[in-house]
Chain A
Amino acid sequence: MRVRAGPGPVLAVSAAIYVGAILLSGQAQYLLPENLVSVLGRAVALGLTAVGQTLAILVASIDLSVAALISASAVLASVVMDGDPAMVVPGVLAVLALGAVVGLVNGLLVAKARVNPLIATLGMALVIQGGLSAVVSNFAGAVPPAFQLLDQGSLLGVPAGLVLLLAVAAAASLMLNLTRFGSDVFAAGGNPEAARLAGIRTGRTVVGAHVLCSLCAALAGLYLAARLGSGAPWIGRDGVYDLESIAVAVIGGTVLAGGRGGVWGTLAGVAVFAMIDSLFNILGVDAFAKQVFRGVIIVAAVAAYAAGTRRLVA
């Protein structure tokens, strides 16, 4: 059996291109640690979302509702908090509860009602976005300055957002590799029928993965509310977090069919995207051309993984 290449090569090639292009353009100051940290800092929301998306993809599902949930979470947080430091905890709890409910419904639709995950979560996205747009049409509420520390604060020189992302990724990775639930995730995604025959309650595993995925998106919404100071009903859609989180997970080596992949690969994918963005900015590439490159790079990265396999895909 052929051993699947990890995300290492993709990350190494992108890093080499990044460093090479910056040196060639004679702008070595962009390689200083603080600049690199700020490049990654801009990718925190995508990273948080993508860690959750990875869990959904690992159980052979997918979540297209994350972008709408991010918008709803950010708006809910800023409306509940409304500038009052005493309301930070209720605000965070409300957002996490929203995430848990959305994830639970997604999971039940996929696992119990057996609705195709793409359709179930797309429908959920339309419901959330429609409901949100019916209530608010602009920036609503505000988060108190104390909450903005989630973006502006830092721990040992590392931005707070990046600390949050690394903590979530580490927790997800430990859970996947060390707990019973984690091994169930790989089993349920790799071969659901075999997992079921082996006594694994695959339905519960899928629901659990969806709840965690939505909680990650809710965290991303909280982070964006802290970063922007308020929530608006379009911030998730504008960030294209649904499709981009899937793209970085796949670039990081998580297989869309489920059962193979991991959180660190996804973070490598996020780093690749962050480097592409930064590089295009430094080199002054036109924003529209950047979009064309981005589309090509997503396809090329997945094609690189698929090279050499003989499995047919649809």
Chain B
Amino acid sequence: MTLAAPRPFAARLRGVNPVWAVLLLLLLAILLLNPAFAEPQGFMNFLRRAAPLCLLAAGQVFVLTSGGFDLSQGAVVTFTVVGASMLLDNDEGATGWVILVLLAAGAGVGAVNGLVVSVLRVPSLIATLGTMIALGGVVMTWSGGAPRGYLTDGFRAFGRFMWRDVPVVGLLPAALLVLVAGGALLWWLLHATTYGRLLHAVGDNPEAARLAGVPVARVRVIAFVASALSAVVAGVLLGGFSGVSLDVGTGAELQAITAAVLGGTLLLGGRGLVGGAVGGALTLSALFTLLNLLGLPQPVREVAQGLILILAVAFAVRRRGT
């Protein structure tokens, strides 16, 4: 890092991640169609609903930065929601330890992913695909194919609760606090610690990193654990406003990868941006909100997500000029 000389305004503007400009445009478009969006109720609800995807994307960034993919995130989300309903068993007092157990299980899943990739040398695409399939089977066996439990109010509060009459913002969802805390932790880990630098080195050139003495296996395992833990937290938040079902997490990993890529994280490793991933997740959520407001059905949202995914990556390739 050289000393940051004061840069002209135009240059500083070019340094801003373009995802925020896209997000701003989308938010303005939503505001135009629905002025109520500017009120705390509308805007805070939007943030609350987007929070799980933001966390998933921020966690996925760790694995993407290491050069891999984590396809098991969605399965971990489903495992969290269904597992919570099985473990809680309508006991309000159980909320605390159930969340701890789920976090521990998530860390275990992440560690298995990381070890299979770095010790058994199975490409992460296959390794996490195996985890996704196997974990799906575990959840179905555990719930007998038809989860019927309920989530306690205490558990649901993380995703659902809003403080009212808060100064300045008016409403403050608990989910937003969880997002800020989790996002800040992940940002710090990737962008302000030695670990973050080692992870970038591993993703950029694993062989060179190994020869330079980087503990490649340990760095990779931690990345998968971070991704899985973020999926557990996202699952807890999702449990607050979605029902208990076997497909609550379906496709979440693909949305998370899309969001991370929108935010400027490079596939196949070497550059990850936690802040950008959160911006990407908000952009994707804003886009879905907009398409919803326009009265477009679910299939059109899929088409839009597909086109945006391709365009974002093609655009990133052009910018890099490779």
A residues in contact (CB < 8 Å) with B: 109, 113-116, 118-120, 122-127, 129-134, 243, 246-247, 250, 256, 286-296, 298-299, 302-303, 306-307, 309, 311-314
Contacts and interface: CB of A to CB of B under 8 A. Distances in A.
Contact of A299 (B116, B305, B308): B116
B276 interface: no
B303 A131 contact: yes
A132 to B, nearest CB: 8
Nearest to B128: A299
Please give me the 8 A-B residue pairs with the lowest Cβ-Cβ distance, nearest first: A126-B306, A295-B134, A291-B137, A130-B302, A314-B67, A295-B133, A130-B303, A292-B137
Contacts, number: 159
Interface in B133-159: 133-138, 140-141, 145
A120 B311 CA distance: 9
Contacts of A291: 133-134, 136-137, 140
12 contacts: A109-B314, A114-B322, A115-B317, A116-B267, A119-B257, A122-B306, A134-B300, A243-B129, A289-B137, A292-B137, A295-B129, A312-B206
A119 B262 CA distance: 12
Given A247-B129, A288-B145, A302-B123, A123 B310 contact: yes
Contacts of A295: 129-137
Contact of B268 (A122, A306, A314): A314
A119 B300 contact: no
Contacts of A127: 302-303, 306-307
Contacts of B68: 314
Interface residues of B, number: 57
Given A256-B123, A303-B121, A313-B122, A288 B310 contact: no
Contacts of A132: 299
Contact of A286 (B141, B269, B299): B141
A289 B134 CA distance: 8
B261 interface: yes
Contacts of A314: 66-68, 117, 123-124, 203, 206, 268-269
Contacts of B314: 109, 113-115
B222 to A, nearest CB: 15
B207 interface: yes
B288 interface: no
Q: Which residue, of B66, B116, B138, B302, has the highest number of chain A Cβ atoms within 10 A?
A: B302
B297 interface: yes
A115 B317 CA distance: 7
A247 B126 contact: yes
Given A123-B309, A127-B306, A309 B145 contact: no
B282 interface: no
B261 A119 contact: yes
Nearest to B317: A114
Contacts of A125: 306
Binding site secondary structure of chain A: helix
A294 B129 CA distance: 11
A299 B299 contact: no
A301 to B, nearest CB: 9
A87 B126 CA distance: 41
Contacts of A131: 299, 303
Q: Which residue, of A287, A299, A309, has the highest number of chain B Cβ atoms within 10 A?
A: A299
A113 B140 contact: no
A271 to B, nearest CB: 19
A121 to B, nearest CB: 9
Interface in B89-124: 116-118, 120-124
B313 interface: yes
B145 A126 contact: no
B121 A290 contact: no
Interface string B45-86: 000000000000000000000111100000000000000000
Contacts of B216: 312
A122 to B, nearest CB: 6
Contacts of A115: 310, 313-314, 317
Given A115-B313, A291-B134, A312-B216, 12 more contacts: A116-B313, A119-B310, A119-B313, A130-B300, A131-B299, A133-B302, A290-B137, A291-B133, A296-B130, A307-B120, A312-B121, A313-B123
A290 B133 CA distance: 10
A134 B42 CA distance: 29
Given A127-B303, A298-B126, A109 B310 contact: yes
B66 to A, nearest CB: 6
A83 to B, nearest CB: 26
Nearest to B71: A243
Contacts of B299: 129-134
B301 interface: yes
Given A130-B303, A298-B126, A313-B117, A118 B69 contact: yes
